[in-house]
Amino acid sequence: MKKRIVVALGGNAILTTDPSAKGQQKALAHTAYYLADFIEAGHELIITHGNGPQVGNLLLQQQLGATEKNPAMPVDTAVAMTQGSIGYWLENALVAELKKRNLSKNTATILTQVVVSETDPAFQAPSKPIGPFLSKEEMEVEKQQTSAVFVEDSGRGFRKVVPSPKPIDIVEYPVIQQMVENGIITIAGGGGGIPVVIKEGIYQGVEAVIDKDFASEKIAALVHADMLVILTGVDHVSINFNQPNQADLTKVRVAEIEKYIEDNQFAPGSMLPKVQAAITFIKENAKGKAVITSLENIKNLLEEETGTIITA
């Protein structure tokens, strides 16, 4: 039976060890191979994706080349720019993969603005890492050039952090819904969307990055998706992760997984936001399903419903 599915791509679906355009295009060709299974099965598909490394690298490139006559762009504009570049690569990768399968579908990317609140406490506590890891010396140089905030990340170096407010609304969701209803494979919400606030009825960009899983959930709820699929690096969400008694979660109800959150089973900034986004989607759409699994497990998900499947 045809379903409307929102698939949220993890960072490893776009960027591996090669940050060049060719490297990312190659990674997305690999990603498209798996995503095409949804389309071949006859489902309506909306694809969202992250952009943390890409937007961070773009900001760094702009800062290094900025002059008074050619200033660097703000974060919201950089998010829009990377929405365009990643969408362009992903569109072409999907068209190429579908052609191999003798399938023809229109594919389009929509620049997506996501409304946030100016009073969101996240603006007082920047926490979302973007861009590359820097040494202490590199970090000190950039701090002298900009007003950026940095944090040390698990002994791997220092990363720039920006506010990560929660999404309130998706400006373009009626257009996204119309596109998917007309059979168009839609790429939307890239990088969590372009963060905007409403001032005197006008949308204005702000310096922030929205978590792409929360933005994906908001899109899925607004377009009445049947399923939200959040892709990550593992086939299942686990409790007691990396311990002798690790256990994979397969089919789990919201009430049960909320108890695991209370027990601090999921790492903040890693699995926790994915689980929270999945729970929010189910609470807004009790008939829907949320799935957390890997890109490589898509075929098993479609055929056998394997992965971590969360229901009401």
Mean pLDDT of the chain: 92
- For domain 4-110+172-310, the CATH architecture is 3-Layer(aba) Sandwich (3.40)
Orientation angle between helical segments 271-284 and 254-262, nearest 10 degrees:
150
Convert the pLDDT of each residue in 107-120 to its tens digit: 999 999 999 999 99
131 neighbors 106 (Cβ within 8 angstroms): no
d(CA 146, CA 150): 11
DSSP 118-165: TT-GGGGS--EEEEEEE-HHHHHHHHHHS--EEEE-TTS-EEEEE--P
Convert the pLDDT of each residue in 259-303 to its tens digit: 999 999 998 878 999 999 999 999 999 899 999 999 999 999 999
DSSP 8-state symbol, 268? T
pLDDT over 90 at 129, yes or no: no
Which residue, 205, 212, 242, 235, is CA-closest to 309? 235
pLDDT score for 271: 94
d(CA 302, CA 136): 46
Torsion of CA 145, 148, 153, 158, to 10 degrees: 0
pLDDT score for 42: 96
pLDDT score for 154: 66
The pTM of this model reads 0.91
pLDDT score for 173: 97
pLDDT score for 309: 97
- Positions marked catalytic: 11-12, 128, 212, 274
| Cβ neighbours of residue 205 closer than 8 Å, sequence gap 6 or more | 74, 76, 77, 194, 195, 196
The share of the chain scoring above pLDDT 90, in percent, equals: 74
